[in-house]
A and B are shown apart, each in its own frame.
Chain A
Amino acid sequence: MVWETILPSPSPSKSLLYVMAKENLIFVSGKEWLHAISSLDGMIAWSKYFHLESLQIQQNDQHSERNIIYAAGFSGLSEVELYELSGKTGEVLKKRITSYSGIFFQGTLLVHNDVLVTLDSTRSKIVLVNFQGEVASFHQTYVSDLVHDFSGEASFLSSKFADMFVLKLDSCKALVKVKSGRTVSLIERMEHPDSVSDAILLPEGKKAFAIVQNKETGIHITVTMDGELINEVLRERIELDDNRGRVQKVFINSYIRTDRSYGFRSLLVMEDHSLLLVQQGEIVWNREDGLASIIDSLASELPVEKGATVAKVEHNLFEWLQGHLLKLKGTLMIASPDDIAAIQVMRLKNSEKNKMTRDHNGFRKLLIVLTKAGKVLALHTGDGRVVWSVLVSSLHGTKTCQNPTWLNIYQWQVPHHHALDENPSVLVVGRCGQSLDSPGILSIFDSYTGKELSSSHVSHSIAQVMPLPLTDSKEQHLHVILDSNNNAYLYPRTRDALKLFHHELSNVFWYSIDSTEGIIRGHSLNHNCIHNEADEYCFGTRTLWSIVFPSDSEKIIATTTRKLNEVVHTQAKVVDQDVIYKYISNNALFIATASPEAVGEIGTAIPEEARLVVYLIDAVTGRVMHRLIHHGSQGPIHAIFSENWVVYHYFNLRAHRYEMSVMEIYDQSRVDNKDVLKLVLGKHNLTSPISAYSSPEVLVKSQSYFFTHSVKVMAVTSTAKGITSKHLLIGTIGDQMLALDKRFLDPRRTPTPSPAEKEEGMIPLTDSLPIIPQSYATHSLQVEGLRNIITVPAKLESTTLVFGYGIDLFFTRIAPSRTYDSLTEDFNYALLLITIVALIAAIIVTWVLTEQKDLRDKWR
């Protein structure tokens, strides 16, 4: 990045920017502000404040000598002002003001040099304000004169057209041209999803623009030149699969063909946010830019290798031997340049990594991601290629459900023991429209092929999805979906699932967090569904408990729980040959609140009024297990909960540094299980199921450390059996991923550890956590705009797969305690094999020789 500038104006700026090439200036208009920024170093050259509604700016034609910026806006209900500004200095050259007999619609205004285009308050009349003469003149045109079936209200689509504009109507869009500042005429009528590009300037002063139409037969691109006459110069048709949806935006660019005529390239922005470059009716390249806005992701196993045929095996064996021979040559330094090239090609191809089947170590997986545009993509972990992709929105965009939004993605079916002939599948949850009450959509996709297995538009809304730790006989995960009226619905809707759920009904609880009111409520589920008595899969909820945080002193800023699928190997922790028991509960909830003064950005609160309070709450009973206050500290808090510990990151205002704290929770009610004889004989209750209502006493140990970086996101490694020690993965502000050993965050650390503690591997206490440059999981790479990190256990216990996403995607695998259970990838198996073969041969030869010698001796 060369530079980044934050504008001082409080309101967000418009997305359209104007660039003045001669002065190297970029113009940004906000609500009432106009800023000119140097494109060389990002310095603000000048800023100007206008006391105007809906400020619009326009640059004059680029090839004229004067660098003039036009700025216009409404200064009253029927008054409009136009400023001519010097682009270089921001000095006002001319100011024009006029008032109209009617009332303007204050929302939209377009500027074309000294002609303003606007709508009157009924939004059915286009008003041209012409400042060309001494006295401003008004010209009015009814929209119904242009588009005959017009009804309702018109609006402008913002664009950088010179003397044309796009009128957005209820039924269609209309491309309209202003002629000599007085009259308007319709150029093209378009259907709704169609779009128009901005005009580009050709050297002869002509302008060109493109219209893209989505039709049954494909995408039609029409480029039109607009000079003295309007004439069509290019008409192209491209065919696309359904997975990209419709064209949303188009940009064009011109080049000169060999016959000196103009050719045009068009860049299409599709509904799934992918980019296509089209030239001469061909897609030159495409990019899945929708991957920059991933909502959520999960990992799926690849299919098991089906019985390979004999011929294939032989072929593979031969190749395998050849490959290893080449490798051996390489290691023994006797490879010819050709061989080295062959080795390189083999390494590049390295088909092992990119195979579409499950591997022994569980390194190859599919990452299934849901993007904001409503597209589900499966990425291969080997090289990040897209294995399949489905635009869910296009499958569900019907008349009744026009703008579906997609909320999250869940594991639906993971065949493990039963139903092995079925493919795993994922559940995508969405809703029709933006509001919390809009009806939901559930869609299930096959993880291997991306085929939609089933989908349903449900009548209830979707406020929360609660995956249960239960699976039915087909290994479908049970999900409870809560609607905005606190009714619970069970999915999948099968008898089997219902039976299972009825059995567990009294043990399933649900909590909701209301951060605006500062209330956490715990609910139980019961049979009577208020709205829908007949629906067996609908359940009512009843509030059991609630925790109310006083709104004048505490505001909820962060919560976290353990991951549902986290595996913990042991419940005991050995301390000097003594044993303490971890408090491991899926129902523990970590909540952090801040004083209202300290909710804002760092530096807005003084240490005396800022404080953080962290709570550990049992989500079944609502019991507050632990409460801790950090005075003089403020958020943002990033917290991670794993096994029996929570690590959180916040800012200490007194020390002016970031801090990280660790809380380890131990179960005091099990401490008495110390009799070895009883343990040997199995006379203990350590493995019997425990209930939250037994209210076990907990002991919380905590410690805090300074930490240099500010943090964007935190995650923790997870392994298949939970034996390997853990690393925290910290997404730093520099968009890197730092792996920090959990041993640094151990509340038992002391400045002078005893020999026994040293032997255990305890690190002496220091006031700050060290940042070891070698422990960046991203090495020198940056994951631009890092938003989240997910960790997936590999089948190999030592290894965790790490997927970080933001604008960029990053995947790696890390081994927190080194790869103690596997040989390195470049281990020379061939050499080992050859050594073994040679040794066996030597044994046979010497055995034969001794036999012969013995025989000879006996004959002698």
Chain B
Amino acid sequence: MEKGKGLARRWAVEFVDTMGSSSSLSSTSGISDPLGFSRSSQDQDDANGGRQKKDAEVAWKAQKAWEVAQAPFKNLLMMGFMMWMAGSTVHLFSIGITFSALWQPLSALQSVGKIFEPYKDSKVDTMAPKLLFIALNMAAMGLGVWKLNTLGLLPTHASDWVSSLPPAREIEYAGGGFPFV
């Protein structure tokens, strides 16, 4: 999953960068074009083609953003399956799975901005995919919490709160017994 995202971003970034840099280079730097190279005709073609390309890129970005947003869903299903396999008794495996189920959505939520950065665009609305992503991760975390509860590790019972209470002090004191003989 991570790998795919990374690849997509690098590829997109390079594409944008080269486009930007080549144009900026030609416009800002004072290096003259090579001989026999006419910029004007090509520029016009590029402008047309560039718009088309830009549209395609926006569409592609939006699509990718949605894909990324939906990615936790698969994760959710897999997590659910693994939790079911782990059973409801407390041992190393079930604890590991539960904590990874809690940790993954948390770390994903922390880096939600970073994940959607490649698809950031003035024309692309990343809000909706972000919300979906957050919601799905929340669901995954809920699953983790639910699992924690079934393991009995959440203090949701009265017994969890009173078992550490010391016995109440008694006001009266009575002593005595048999007299010495």
Is B91 at the interface (CB under 8 A from chain A)? no
Residues of A within 8 A of B164 (CB): 570
- Which B88-135 residues have C-beta < 8 A from chain A? none
The answer, among B161, B163, B166, B173, for a CB contact under 8 Å with A469, is: B173
Is A154 at the interface (CB under 8 A from chain B)? no
Residues of A within 8 A of B159 (CB): 572, 574, 577-579
For the complex formed, measure the closest distance between the CB of B154 and the CB atoms of chain A, giving whole angstroms: 11
Is A568 at the interface (CB under 8 A from chain B)? yes
Is A502 at the interface (CB under 8 A from chain B)? no
**Chain B contacts to A: CB under 8 angstroms:** 152, 155-181
Q: Which of the candidate stretches A320-328, A506-514, A653-661 sits at the interface with the other chain?
A: A506-514
Knowing A436-B181, A571-B168, the reply to whether A586 touches B162 (Cβ < 8 A) is: no
> Can you name 20 A-B pairs with beta carbons within 8 Å?
A407-B180, A431-B180, A466-B175, A482-B176, A508-B172, A512-B176, A515-B178, A568-B167, A569-B166, A571-B167, A572-B163, A574-B159, A577-B157, A586-B170, A673-B158, A673-B162, A686-B168, A687-B166, A690-B171, A691-B172
Q: How far is the CA of A526 from the CA of B181 in the complex (A)?
A: 26
Question: Quick one: closest B residue to A465, CB to CB?
Answer: B180
Q: Which of the candidate stretches A272-280, A674-682, A785-793 sits at the interface with the other chain?
A: A674-682
Question: Quick one: closest B residue to A569, CB to CB?
Answer: B166
Tell whether, in the assembled complex, residue A585 and residue B170 are in contact, meaning their CB atoms are under 8 Å apart: yes
Q: How far is the CA of A435 from the CA of B114 in the complex (A)?
A: 92
Is A561 at the interface (CB under 8 A from chain B)? yes
The answer, among B158, B172, B174, B181, for a CB contact under 8 Å with A579, is: B158
Residues of B within 8 A of A561 (CB): 177
Is A137 at the interface (CB under 8 A from chain B)? no
Residues of B within 8 A of A564 (CB): 175
For the complex formed, measure the closest distance between the CB of B98 and the CB atoms of chain A, giving whole angstroms: 19
For the complex formed, measure the closest distance between the CB of A410 and the CB atoms of chain B, giving whole angstroms: 12
Is A233 at the interface (CB under 8 A from chain B)? no
Q: How far is the CA of A574 from the CA of B155 in the complex (A)?
A: 13
For the complex formed, measure the closest distance between the CB of A570 and the CB atoms of chain B, giving whole angstroms: 5
Interface size on A, residues (CB 8 A): 59
Residues of A within 8 A of B179 (CB): 436, 463-464, 482, 484, 512
Residues of A within 8 A of B171 (CB): 507, 689-692
Q: How far is the CA of A783 from the CA of B177 in the complex (A)?
A: 28
Question: Quick one: closest A residue to B156, CB to CB?
Answer: A676
Q: How far is the CA of A574 from the CA of B152 in the complex (A)?
A: 13
Is A28 at the interface (CB under 8 A from chain B)? no
Question: Is chain A's binding surface mostly helix, strand, loop or mixed?
Answer: mixed
Q: How far is the CA of A468 from the CA of B176 in the complex (A)?
A: 10
Tell whether, in the assembled complex, residue B169 and residue A586 are in contact, meaning their CB atoms are under 8 Å apart: no
Tell whether, in the assembled complex, residue B168 and residue A587 are in contact, meaning their CB atoms are under 8 Å apart: no
Tell whether, in the assembled complex, residue B165 and residue A620 are in contact, meaning their CB atoms are under 8 Å apart: no
Is A375 at the interface (CB under 8 A from chain B)? no
Residues of B within 8 A of A673 (CB): 158, 162
The answer, among B152, B162, B166, B175, for a CB contact under 8 Å with A679, is: B162
Residues of A within 8 A of B180 (CB): 407-408, 431, 436, 462-464
Q: How far is the CA of A574 from the CA of B172 in the complex (A)?
A: 28
Q: How far is the CA of A587 from the CA of B174 in the complex (A)?
A: 6
The answer, among A469, A559, A568, for a CB contact under 8 Å with B178, is: A559
Q: How far is the CA of A794 from the CA of B120 in the complex (A)?
A: 67
For the complex formed, measure the closest distance between the CB of B106 and the CB atoms of chain A, giving whole angstroms: 23
Residues of B within 8 A of A571 (CB): 162, 165-168
Is A298 at the interface (CB under 8 A from chain B)? no
Residues of B within 8 A of A587 (CB): 170, 172-174
For the complex formed, measure the closest distance between the CB of A692 and the CB atoms of chain B, giving whole angstroms: 5
Fill in one digit per residue for A566-584: 1 if any B CB lies within 8 Å of its CB, else 0: 0011111010011101101
Beyond A559-B178, A582-B167, 6 additional pairs, beta carbon < 8 A: A463-B179, A507-B173, A510-B176, A569-B166, A585-B170, A679-B161
For the complex formed, measure the closest distance between the CB of B116 and the CB atoms of chain A, giving whole angstroms: 37
Q: How far is the CA of A48 from the CA of B156 in the complex (A)?
A: 81
Question: Quick one: closest B residue to A521, CB to CB?
Answer: B176
Q: How far is the CA of A294 from the CA of B177 in the complex (A)?
A: 21
Q: How far is the CA of A149 from the CA of B6 in the complex (A)?
A: 122
Question: Quick one: closest A residue to B157, CB to CB?
Answer: A577
Question: Quick one: closest B residue to A676, CB to CB?
Answer: B158
Is A688 at the interface (CB under 8 A from chain B)? yes
Q: Sorted from nearest, which 6 A-B pairs have the closest CB atoms?
A: A619-B174, A679-B161, A466-B175, A509-B174, A511-B176, A463-B179
Q: How far is the CA of A164 from the CA of B161 in the complex (A)?
A: 82
Tell whether, in the assembled complex, residue A586 and residue B173 are in contact, meaning their CB atoms are under 8 Å apart: yes
Residues of B within 8 A of A674 (CB): 158
Q: How far is the CA of A407 from the CA of B181 in the complex (A)?
A: 9
For the complex formed, measure the closest distance between the CB of B172 and the CB atoms of chain A, giving whole angstroms: 4
The answer, among A408, A431, A568, A686, for a CB contact under 8 Å with B162, is: A686
Q: How far is the CA of A407 from the CA of B169 in the complex (A)?
A: 31
Residues of B within 8 A of A680 (CB): 161
Knowing A464-B180, A507-B173, the reply to whether A570 touches B168 (Cβ < 8 A) is: no
